[in-house]
Amino acid sequence: MLIRLPAYEDVMKIGLTHKGACLLDLGCCVGTDIRKAVADGFPAERTIGSDLHAEFGDLAHKLFRTTPETFPGHFIPGDALDPDMLSVVQPCEAVLDSPEPDLKTLASLNPLHGRINVIHASNFFHLFSESKQLHLARALAGLLSPVPGSIICGGHWGLPENGPMVERLFGGTMELFCHSPQTWTEMWDGVVFPKGWVRVDTLLIEVDMEGYKFWYLLWSVKRL
């Protein structure tokens, strides 16, 4: 999914030109997006995948026929809504001067507050209620580096007007809360971050998958 985002060029520019830049993929599954970014030049040892399911770390190595030695990316499993895994803190105003923690030893994302240059979260936010989406946005904002150009990006289901959407999937019914481009922008610029700290770009597209149509919101939030 990451490569399909309009922000992918910005992501790779950070990885290729910013020494020590760090990429976090939240809800990474088996890390396909991270692997693509690494193939395009993002240093593997500066990537972190995180998912609720701890088994995805080993499954990724089996799928791609790698080992922690041949692919030195990091995997930190946990629940992003658990404050022991990812707590909400205020966005950083200035670059931190303290030493970076050893990525190999981390058991949670909290030591990385203010240190992540790229955060990717696709097909993630729409899984949660409106209030939990705001909570997660604030949590990610606390992780983002204050260096100008640092970016949070992703894609998920959206609507032209925000509100609930009921979908029949896999033999059942699911209700999703979907933001519109306007409400998504207003949440990040003025609620999550102080007004004017970030630039939010959105693109709402209508997807037709063999007759099944839905709206999909591509977005990025960049520190100014």
Domain boundary assignment for the chain: 2-223
Query: Which of 177, 82, 172 shows the shortest CA–CA distance to 128?
Result: 177
Q: Dihedrals φ, ψ of 78, to 5°? A: 160, 170
Q: Is the pLDDT of residue 50 over 80?
A: yes
Look at residue 170 in the predicted model and tell me its pLDDT: 63
Task: Report which of residues 18 and 173 the model is more confident about.
Answer: 18
Say if domain 2-223 classifies as CATH 3.20.20.140: no
pTM more than 0.75: yes
Q: What is the helix (H) or strand (E) element at residue 176, kind and residue range?
A: strand 172-178
CB 178 within 8 A of CB 189: no
Residue 8: how many other CB atoms lie within 10 Å:
19
Q: Is the pLDDT of residue 24 over 70?
A: yes
